[in-house]
């Protein structure tokens, strides 16, 4: 099958087909001598390979187009089409297929020439069975690695660029440092409450860094049992413990060349902390149960919602690891400290859910004002979930203030968190302010109806609007503002 010249690899649907584990690896054997074809076929069949045979170059090219091959064994001296011509064809049209050259006329120059033309190995006749099988195994693994690499690059290139939404001074100050942070190789410690966007910040730093084309591997340290965390991070060797039936790479190995993000790093055991510290200091590690030193070419980003100073004092976190991770500290402000960003976030999430649902969701100004008046102790994550609930349960594409009020519900945990450190005077002021804003939005900023619903006089409502600075948070009619100032 001819290759699409615009593709990095041939656009052959067979190439990226995922085979089930029951399907054998398929090897093409090309040699003009029938006894050699038969011998190689017997050896490979005994090792559970599926073998495709070709007696000349033209047949080899035809069989390649007809089969999903994992490797090719190619003789140099062939009728109709020479081996080097077939090699050029395979390298050009099917570069994913690894080719092993076999020849009875081998010399150093021919071997070098074959490698330069794209072969991954060169074997001289008479063939050694051990040498043959070793080369085929390496070739099959080489193709698997190529497919994994293509899949990874495809995912990376198709991922939506990460965005940290906000126009507030706090966010702009945060983002202004990202180019310098991303350009360095220093470890970064990202702190902030749950739901503030610590992983978004980590991905944004990776996306802006020189490692952006390589892997970003996230690890939630709090979600992995303590007895498994080391094997997850560093991998393990076959036989390292009961159930370790084969070697497995860890997160650090999978992130090689890219970035590893240790989320909830404060939840690492002290033993795992010691190993992470060694990786940072020595840039090397060992798999569990292994002795081989593996290099760690990774950028380390970490995050936590805990006070690490308190954790260090309590003996739960190593101070030396803290200093290694905290080379560049990044603190993300909670949503309540950047209320002017809430409207932007609502619009951003509405656009996201619109694309997913195939319809256009919008929100009225009053709805956004009502949402912006809340503290959102769960931060951006809680806000996103609330906006998604609105799009699902409102039953319409334009979200208004009534929809926001209907989908709201009391939450004792949120109330407790909100008033936890307030005095009675401050709590009363906060409650009055929130109640008046909600009622104003419900009655579309109508002062008379709002006052009636609160069972107070218009003049008293105007005084409260001025005292509580409500006019700076909601857009009141011009006559109402003038009346309040009078």
pLDDT the model gives residue 94:
85
Supply the DSSP symbol for 214.
Answer: S
- Residue segments in the chain with a per-residue pLDDT below the cut of 50: 1-22, 158, 410-417, 481-482, 484-486
Pick left, alpha or beta for residue 224 (phi over 0 → left; psi -120 to 50 → alpha; otherwise beta): beta
pLDDT the model gives residue 180:
92
Contacts of 331 (CB under 8 A, 6+ apart): 190, 191, 192
- Burial of residue 50 (number of CB atoms within 10 Å: 0-12, 13-18, 19+): middle
pLDDT the model gives residue 12:
37
Per-residue CA distances from 58 to 55, 61, 81, 86 (Å): 9, 5, 6, 8
Peptide bond into 126 cis (omega under 30): yes
Q: How far is it, in rounded angstroms, from Cα 372 to Cα 474? A: 10
Q: How far is it, in rounded angstroms, from Cα 266 to Cα 107? A: 59
Q: How far is it, in rounded angstroms, from Cα 480 to Cα 486? A: 10
pTM of the model: 0.58
Q: Which two three-digit tokens encode residue 143?
A: 């193709």
- The length of the chain in residues reads 486
pLDDT the model gives residue 420:
59
User: Per-residue pLDDT tens for 263-309?
Assistant: 999 999 898 899 899 999 888 888 888 888 888 889 999 999 999 99
CB 96 within 8 A of CB 146: yes
List of long-range contacts for 34-37, beta carbons under 8 Å, 24+ apart:
36/75, 36/125, 36/127
- What three-state secondary structure class fits 320? helix
- What three-state secondary structure class fits 456? coil
Q: What residues form DSSP beta bridges with 51?
A: 27
CB 213 within 8 A of CB 224: no
Q: How far is it, in rounded angstroms, from Cα 448 to Cα 67? A: 80
Domains of the chain plus CATH, in order, are 26-155 (3.40.50.2300), 169-333 (3.40.50.300), 337-413 (1.10.8.60), 422-485 (1.10.10.60)
């Amino acid at each position: 099958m001819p290759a699409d010249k615009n593709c990095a690899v041939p656009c052959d649907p067979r190439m990226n087909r995922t085979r089930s584990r029951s399907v054998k690896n398929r090897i093409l054997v090309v040699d003009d001598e029938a006894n050699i074809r038969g011998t190689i076929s017997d050896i490979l069949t005994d090792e559970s390979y599926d073998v495709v045979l070709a007696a000349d170059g033209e047949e080899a090219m035809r069989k390649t187009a007809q089969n999903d091959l994992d490797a090719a064994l190619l003789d140099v001296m062939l009728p109709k089409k020479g081996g080097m011509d077939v090699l050029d064809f395979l390298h050009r049209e099917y570069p994913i297929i690894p080719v092993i050259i076999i020849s009875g006329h081998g010399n150093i120059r021919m071997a070098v020439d074959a490698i330069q033309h794209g072969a991954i190995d060169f074997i001289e006749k008479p063939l050694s069975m051990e040498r043959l099988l070793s080369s085929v195994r390496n070739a099959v693994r080489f193709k698997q690695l190529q497919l994994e690499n293509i899949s990874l690059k495809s995912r990376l290139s198709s991922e939506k660029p990460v965005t940290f939404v906000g126009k507030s001074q706090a966010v702009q100050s945060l983002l202004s440092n990202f180019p310098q942070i991303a350009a360095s190789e220093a470890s970064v410690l990202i702190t902030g409450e749950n739901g503030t966007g610590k992983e978004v910040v980590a991905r944004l730093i990776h996306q802006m860094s020189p490692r952006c084309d390589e892997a970003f591997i996230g690890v939630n340290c709090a979600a992995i049992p303590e007895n498994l965390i080391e094997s997850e991070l560093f991998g393990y060797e076959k036989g390292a413990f009961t159930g370790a039936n084969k070697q497995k790479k860890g997160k650090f190995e999978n992130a090689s060349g890219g970035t590893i993000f240790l989320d909830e790093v404060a939840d690492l055991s002290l033993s795992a902390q010691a190993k992470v510290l060694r990786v940072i200091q020595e840039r090397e590690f060992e798999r569990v149960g292994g002795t081989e030193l593996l290099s760690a070419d990774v950028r380390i980003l970490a995050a936590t919602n805990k006070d690490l100073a308190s954790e260090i004092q309590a003996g739960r976190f190593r101070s030396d690891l803290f200093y290694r991770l905290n080379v560049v500290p990044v603190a993300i402000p909670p949503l309540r400290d950047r209320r002017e960003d809430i409207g932007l976030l609502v619009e951003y999430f509405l656009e996201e859910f619109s694309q997913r649902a195939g319809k256009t969701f919008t929100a009225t100004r009053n709805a956004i004002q009502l949402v912006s008046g809340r503290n959102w102790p769960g931060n951006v994550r809680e806000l996103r979930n609330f906006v998604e609930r609105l799009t699902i349960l409102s039953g319409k594409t334009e979200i208004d203030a009534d929809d926001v009020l209907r989908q709201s519900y009391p939450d004792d945990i949120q109330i407790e968190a909100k008033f936890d450190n307030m005095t009675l005077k401050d709590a009363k002021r906060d409650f009055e302010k929130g109640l008046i804003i909600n009622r104003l939005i419900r009655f579309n900023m109508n002062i008379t109806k709002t006052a009636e619903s609160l069972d107070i006089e218009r003049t008293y409502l105007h005084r409260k609007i001025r005292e509580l600075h409500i006019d700076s948070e909601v857009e009141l009619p011009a006559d109402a503002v003038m009346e309040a100032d009078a």
